[in-house]
Amino acid sequence: MKKSLNIDYQIFSDISQLDETDRRLLEMARSALDKAYAPYSGFQVAAALMLDNGIQIVGTNQENASYGLCLCAEQNILATAGSEHFHSAVKVMAITARSLNKPVDHPISPCGACRQVLSEHEDRHQQPIRLLLQGETGEILCFASAKDLLPFSFSAKDLL
Ligand code: THU
């Protein structure tokens, strides 16, 4: 038996096509790039999210001379959300990036580890996280759920 998977997502050619909240989150993420600490890779990543209570926060990648300790923007921001707003679900997350090495002209999507952490947040709150992805320039991708980027994910249901 053969099966196939289909992922629905939206492409926007310009930030002006987004609604006000999404636009603001992407702009917040862009402004937060200055707070990224990425002296080793030169690759600055920032995320901005909105919780179900309307609170908006930002997070950035934080690197370390011991490279394996580098922390991704998405995991940092989810740790902040979980720590400071334990009961609130993330509704939307905008992610952007800038590189000192070359122009980032395409959307940057979360790494595998970040997808796993995003997926667990969705499970925990039983709500999808809408993802907005954009580079410094170029189109914006919008996914209705982080799970769209991680089919066949490992989760608590496998353990408990
Ligand atoms: N990075 C993120 O912040 N998020 C991702 O999803 C991919 C990678 C960071 C980690 C590291 O500081 C730099 O980008 C280069 O890998």
pTM of the complete model: 0.97
Q: What is the pLDDT of residues 7-58, one digit of tens each?
A: 999 999 999 999 999 999 999 999 999 999 999 999 999 999 999 999 999 9
Which atom of ligand 1 approaches the CA of 45 most closely? Answer: 3
Ranges of each domain in the chain: 10-151
- Pick the residue whose CA is nearest to atom 14 on ligand 1: 43
CA distance 28 to 109: 17
Q: Buried b vs exposed e over 101-114: b needs ≥16 C-beta within 10 Å?
A: eeebeebbebeeeb
pLDDT of res. 28: 98
Q: Which CATH architecture has domain 10-151?
A: 3-Layer(aba) Sandwich (3.40)
Residue 160 has pLDDT above 90, yes or no: no
Question: Which ligand 1 atom sits nearest the alpha carbon of residue 111?
Answer: 6
Q: HEC states along 100-154?
A: CCCCCCCCCCCCHHHHHHHHHHHHHHCCCCEEEEECCCCCEEEECCHHHHCCCCC
- Is the distance from CB of 131 to CB of 142 less than 8 angstroms? yes
Query: Is the CB of 38 inside a 6 Å radius of any atom of ligand 1?
Result: yes
C-beta 122 within 6 A of ligand 1: no
Question: Quick one: tokens of 8?
Answer: 């629905």
pLDDT of 89 over the 90 cut: yes
User: How confident is the model over 116-130, as a mean pLDDT?
Assistant: 98
